[in-house]
């Protein structure tokens, strides 16, 4: 019986120490992304103060830079690019530290923030 009590206590300690994914608020998005670069599987994106953003895509044909704009509206990151138009996304910092961007359609993409 002693071992069962210890096991239950150990599970409670592990569960209490585990952190969950964090959905960012509007002010947290602004603070987290301003001046940041996030690396994705096929490129990277930089968010500058003043609402400018640059997405860089890498492929076998080379590198392509696409200029856009960004703003925070409510608790969403809203971006506008020439080819894709405007899209608002939920930003989630995952337990392991990666960042997930989730548009309204639910398809998401995940990257790692450079320090």
Domain boundaries, the chain: 20-113
Give the tens place of pLDDT for each residue, 5-30: 333 433 333 344 456 899 999 999 99
CB atoms < 10 A from the CB of 7, how many?
10
6: enclosing H helix or E strand: helix 2-17
CATH T-level assignment (fold) for domain 20-113: Lipocalin (2.40.128)
pLDDT of residue 55: 97
What is the distance between the alpha carbons of residues 65 and 45, in angstroms, rounded to a whole number?
9
pLDDT of residue 115: 73
What is the distance between the alpha carbons of residues 52 and 71, in angstroms, rounded to a whole number?
9
What is the distance between the alpha carbons of residues 100 and 93, in angstroms, rounded to a whole number?
6
Give the tens place of pLDDT for each residue, 46-99: 999 999 999 999 999 999 999 999 999 999 999 999 999 999 999 999 998 999
């Amino acid at each position: 019986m002693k071992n069962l009590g210890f096991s239950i206590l150990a599970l409670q300690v592990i569960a209490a120490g585990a952190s969950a994914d964090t959905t960012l608020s509007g002010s947290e998005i602004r603070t987290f992304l301003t001046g940041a670069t996030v690396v994705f599987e096929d490129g990277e994106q930089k968010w500058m103060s003043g609402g400018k953003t640059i997405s860089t895509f890498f492929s076998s044909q080379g590198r392509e830079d696409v200029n856009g704009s960004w703003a925070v509206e409510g608790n969403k990151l809203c971006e506008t690019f020439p080819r894709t138009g405007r899209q608002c996304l939920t930003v989630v910092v995952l337990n392991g530290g990666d960042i997930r961007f989730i548009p309204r359609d639910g398809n998401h993409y995940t990257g790692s923030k450079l320090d």
